[in-house]
A and B are shown apart, each in its own frame.
Chain A
Amino acid sequence: AQKITQTQPGMFVQEKEAVTLDCTYDTSDPSYGLFWYKQPSSGEMIFLIYQGSYDQQNATEGRYSLNFQKARKSANLVISASQLGDSAMYFCAMREAPHTGGFKTIFGAGTRLFVKA
């Protein structure tokens, strides 16, 4: 069965420092997509970054980068130069390729990030 695991319930980081949020996944499907979303206290899920299973290079979006290690089935999010506004819940998610004309996306339990001034 497909599974996403985020083992860090909470993380603290000093403002302007980098932080890595861990994510491991399990799937038997060779084609899948990995996502990271940010959820502030307002509740809205904000898309951060995407990595396809066949992508050769790690994805980057501004201060966000995804450290994709396919053999280890890990997709860690790295946030560089943390800002106070980065304090939020962060979810790792996996989407499998369509089998019946649609696809499911499963989410991990999330990591709450606290950025200290």
Chain B
Amino acid sequence: DAGVTQSPTHLIKTRGQQVTLRCSPKSGHDTVSWYQQALGQGPQFIFQYYEEEERQRGNFPDRFSGHQFPNYSSELNVNALLLGDSALYLCASSRRLQETQYFGPGTRLLVL
């Protein structure tokens, strides 16, 4: 039973560029949430997708956008990258909206 997978594992970008991160949920899960974790801090909620719609959003600018596909996988897009976007980006999936979330290994993004 495959867990949550994320790609790529590491990524280096320069300021102003755009990036796309990908997430495949755990088998049987249909809800995907994205988090940003800066070094030394707890994860910060970005947004949540269910039935291909954004259902909840944290306090992140519109530069952060996402998508969920019919197979429940999801993408996180960040435009006009800033140095402060450097972080570990975690994807979590759950079965329906209210059940326990399970996390993927994360994507480490470095913006230079």
- Whether B58 and A98, one on each chain, are in contact in the complex, defined by CB atoms closer than 8 angstroms, is no
Closest partner residue, chain B, to A31 (CB atom)? B98
Rounded to whole Å, the gap between the CB of B91 and the closest CB of chain A is: 10
B61 within 8 A of A: no
* Chain A nearest CB, measured from B67 CB (Å): 15
**B interface, size bucket:** 20 to 34
Taken residue by residue from 5 to 37, chain A's Cβ proximity to chain B (1 for < 8 Å, 0 otherwise) reads as: 000000000000000000000000000010101
Interface residues of chain B, those whose CB is within 8 Å of chain A, are 33, 35, 41-45, 48, 50, 53-56, 58, 88, 90, 92, 97-98, 100-106, 108
Report the count of interface residues on A (CB-CB < 8 A): 26
CB within 8 Å: A-B pair count: 67
Q: Is the interface of B mostly helix, strand, loop or mixed?
A: strand
- Chain B residues within an 8 Å CB radius of A78: none
19 contacts between A and B (CB under 8 A): A43-B105, A44-B104, A44-B105, A45-B92, A47-B100, A47-B101, A91-B43, A98-B97, A98-B98, A101-B53, A101-B56, A102-B56, A103-B48, A103-B56, A103-B97, A106-B45, A107-B35, A107-B42, A107-B44
